[in-house]
Amino acid sequence: MDAFFTQRQEGPFTVVDFQTESLMNQLDLERIGQALYRLIDEEHRKQILLDFTRVRFLSSQAIGILLTLNKKLSQTEGGKLVLCSVGPQLLELLKITRLNRVLTIRPNRKDALSHGMTLTELTVVIAMIVVLIALLLPFLSKARDTATRIRCASNLRQIGSAFLMYAEANEGCFPLAASRSHLGQQPPRAPDHEDRPEDWIHWRTPPNKGGISTSAIAKYITSHTQVLEQVFRCPLDDVQRHDALHVSGFDAAGWAKYGPYYYSYSMNGYMDPQGLWRDASGMTCHTRLRLITNAANKTLLVEESGQTINDGHWKPGNYDAGNGIWNVEFDRLSIRHDNVHDDDEKIVNSVVAWPDKRGNCCFCDGHVEFVTRTFAHDPSHVIANQF
């Protein structure tokens, strides 16, 4: 077929160079077609590149041969037909007949060959991609974790702002701590299993009576219950696992009475305005915003550990004002954004596991920080006006 075309192997392609300007003669085209078909059927060539550098004229029979070649190769695993260096007139013909949408056409041979890839090259590229993914996964995971922590901090910031707006409207008093039992309440007492109007979060109120949308701070955030659900929950917190039956010191009877707390944040009980603690003289302390010393350094809200959270009240420790003694108690700052072992460590009173690991904390001036458990459980950052 030297009179009509030459062929040679370049990479994965069998390159066919046409040696004539005209692909119009019927007999010649029959011979060309048979020779090209043999490349596929007998020589098992899977990728063929037709170079049209010299070709100026093309008959309908030649187009039929191209379509037959394209079909044969498309039915072969890994098969491909590519045309290159097609002149402007022929290219216009292919566009008019819309064959440019059927056939793969490249502007020149170099471009056509660069689109081809051997199995070995493909394997190398895939291996490189796998290695890159393996290298990037830790960074992608870290970026995702950082984004989740920031979303959680944003939730706390919104809640903290609502607390401050509530205090401004209520003579400097924050809302109540939403404890599972109404400690410190003066008679007549509300039943412990019911939310009080002044509780910052109404976690026991059934949906048919308003649910969390009746919470004391809800109107300062949104009137949409679904949005409140998102604000009151950390994106990483599986709240369905807040199973207080597995929490030390909280029995089945208590669980049945108070029910589950399906949210992620709790309020520092030492900021409750009705007075949940006493000072050195034995007087009940009724916290007001103006009485808090160094508000920017005093905890208002925390993301509490899923292992200890059972209500809206966070009690990190008990302060014996008479003796100046601080005893670490049951509740713990969550460290889920800093340590995968959060919720796995056994809770022991007076011992703060993973003390250098950090969690989200909102302060009495409304700002949020990522603080260590040592910081969060220090009485100087918990008690309103003793330090």
**Spatial separation of the C-alpha atoms in residues 369 and 152, rounded to whole Å:** 11
Which residues neighbour 36 within 8 Å (Cβ) at sequence distance 6 or greater? 16, 48, 65, 69
Segments making up each domain of the chain, as ranges: 5-116, 142-381
Closest CA to 153 of 381, 294, 338, 307: 338
pLDDT, position 282 = 45
Backbone angles phi, psi at 150, to 5 degrees: -65, -40
pLDDT, position 200 = 95
Which stretches of the chain score pLDDT less than 50? Answer: 187-188, 245-249, 251, 279-284
pLDDT, position 267 = 95
In whole angstroms, how far apart are CA 350 and each of 40, 315, 377, 383? Answer: 80, 13, 10, 17
Closest CA to 163 of 359, 300, 26: 300
Let me know: does 292 contact 364? Beta carbons within 8 Å: yes
pLDDT, position 249 = 47
pLDDT, position 140 = 62
pLDDT, position 175 = 93
What is the CATH code for 5-116?
3.30.750.24
pLDDT, position 142 = 67
**Spatial separation of the C-alpha atoms in residues 161 and 169, rounded to whole Å:** 13
Q: Are strands 80-84 and 47-51 parallel, antiparallel or unpaired?
A: parallel
- Which two tokens mark 303? 């993301």
Spell out the long-range contacts of 88-91 with Cβ–Cβ below 8 A and sequence spacing 24 or more: 89/56, 90/52, 90/55, 90/56, 90/58
Which residues neighbour 201 within 8 Å (Cβ) at sequence distance 6 or greater? 178, 195, 212, 215, 216, 217, 232, 263, 312
Name the pTM for this structure: 0.62
- Which two tokens mark 353? 């596991």
Let me know: does 74 contact 47? Beta carbons within 8 Å: no
